[in-house]
Amino acid sequence: MSSVSDRINIPFGLLVDTVASLDLEHKIKLWRLLGQEIAQQQQLNHQKSNASQPEVMVELSTAVGRVLVESGMSEDELVESLDPS
């Protein structure tokens, strides 16, 4: 998702105000674009981290991913469910 906007510094507050002023159709469109961008970045980060981790860590990461998908839990919910306190 590279474009001219990659080179523009927009204060976060202004960005939030601008998004809040959008109509619902444009908010949904932006939400989908952000979702795609986040998924791509997470995949790249995952690939980079896997390249530098020992095999055991890769297997653990894969297992945790499967648990999250199969359970429908978020990472935070999984951590909370494993916390003994």
Query: Are residues 61 and 54 in contact, defined by beta-carbon separation less than 8 angstroms?
Result: no
Closest to 37 (Cα-Cα) out of 81, 1, 3, 13: 1
**Could you report the per-residue pLDDT of 38-64, keeping only the tens digit for each?**
888 888 887 776 666 677 677 778 888
Where are the alpha helices (H) located in the chain, listed in sequence order? 12-20, 24-52, 55-71, 75-82
pTM of whole model > 0.75? no
Inform me whether the pLDDT recorded for 78 exceeds 80: no
